[in-house]
């Protein structure tokens, strides 16, 4: 303070040498103050830099930990899904085996005749005309099958071999375009193949079931004198 006063107070009657000494002293004091201020500023800046670095490193560490946790959860989920997939594949194989076994059993039963609902179904061994096939069924106390529900249509198609074409008990031989079942009831719901019945060359009055086409669209009218095996229902 005293030195500041000395530096700022103008000399009263100084000699030339005294003035030069005092000016030198003042410049030295100012340099020291300036250096101290600069040092202080550098320290503050360093402190701020260290604090910011600390926060930055802490944030990165937290982020890395969160990332590791997420990767661990992800890996655990993948592992669980792989286990579940493996179990499902095993179960799927078992169900396929079971399905094939039951399907074979069902088809064997079909070859010999089988019960479904309240009916007994069987087919003839030889291909004959519609009337001969109907007689085959009647000789055994049955008649050509009547299919009047979607469930029955789907079931019978599923059990018939995929390459078979069988007579069913439907005809319009008495009046063209008026399909009737063998019990004389009119057709209410048909499961025709696309474009059928077409009464091709006006000579198709009896109906076959073609099992190779979609289960709800596999009927076709053909000539009654064509030969097919009979699908009988008792």
Min dist. Cβ of residue 175 to Ca ion (A): 9
- Min separation Cβ 193 and Ca ion, Å: 8
CB neighbours of residue 87 within 10 Å = 10
94: its two tokens: 């078992």
The residue with its CB nearest to Ca ion is 199
- Give 142 or 210: the residue with its C-beta nearer to Ca ion: 210
Nearer to Ca ion, 142 or 204 (CB): 204
Binding site for Ca ion (CB under 5 A): 172, 196, 198-200, 204-205, 220-221
Residue with Cβ nearer Ca ion (142 or 187) = 187
DSSP for residue 231: E
> What is each CA distance from 157 to 40, 85, 122, 153, 231, in whole angstroms?
96, 33, 13, 6, 11
**Min. distance of Cβ 171 from Ca ion in angstroms?**
8
User: Which residues does 212 contact at the CB level (< 8 Å), separation at least 6?
Assistant: 162, 163, 218
Q: Which is nearer to Ca ion, 188 or 202 (CB)?
A: 202
Quick one: DSSP state of residue 169? Answer: E
**Shortest gap between Cβ of 161 and Ca ion (angstroms)?**
21
Question: What backbone torsions phi and psi does residue 65 show, to the nearest 5 degrees?
Answer: -65, -45
Residue (143 or 204) nearer to Ca ion, CB:
204
Report the distance separating Cα 50 and Cα 203, nearest Å. 101
Q: Work out how close the CB of 118 gets to Ca ion at its nearest, in angstroms, rounded to a whole number.
A: 30
Q: Which is nearer to Ca ion, 147 or 210 (CB)?
A: 210
The CA distance from 165 to 226, in Å, is: 11
CA distance 167 to 231: 6
Quick one: 204 or 233, whose CB is closer to Ca ion?
204
Q: How far is the CB of 220 from Ca ion (least distance, A)?
A: 5
- CB-based burial label for 135 (10 Å; 0-12, 13-18, 19+): middle
Question: At its nearest, how many Å lie between Ca ion and the CB of residue 183?
Answer: 19
**Spatial distance between the Cα atoms of 200 and 209, rounded to a whole number of angstroms:** 17
3-state secondary structure of 184: coil
């Amino acid at each position: 303070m005293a030195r500041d006063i000395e530096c700022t107070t103008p000399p009263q009657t100084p000699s030339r040498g005294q003035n030069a000494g005092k000016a030198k002293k003042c410049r030295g004091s100012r340099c020291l103050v300036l250096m101290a201020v600069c040092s202080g500023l550098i320290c503050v800046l360093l402190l701020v830099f260290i604090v910011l670095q600390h926060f930055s490193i802490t944030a990165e560490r937290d982020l890395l930990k969160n990332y590791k946790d997420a990767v661990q959860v992800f890996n655990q989920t993948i592992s669980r899904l792989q286990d579940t997939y493996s179990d499902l594949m095993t179960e799927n194989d078992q169900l396929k085996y079971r399905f094939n076994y039951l399907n074979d059993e069902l088809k064997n039963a079909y070859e010999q005749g089988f019960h479904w609902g309240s009916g007994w179904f069987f087919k003839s061994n030889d291909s004959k005309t519609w009337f001969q096939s109907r007689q085959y069924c009647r000789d055994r106390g049955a008649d050509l099958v009547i299919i009047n529900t979607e469930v029955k249509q789907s079931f019978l198609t599923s059990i018939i071999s995929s390459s078979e074409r069988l007579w069913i008990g439907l005809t319009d031989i008495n009046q063209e375009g008026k399909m009737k079942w063998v019990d004389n009831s009119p057709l209410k719901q048909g499961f025709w193949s696309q474009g059928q019945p077409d009464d091709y060359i006006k000579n198709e009055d009896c109906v076959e079931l073609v099992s190779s086409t979609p289960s709800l669209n596999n009927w076709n009218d053909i000539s009654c004198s064509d030969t097919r095996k009979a699908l009988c229902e008792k």
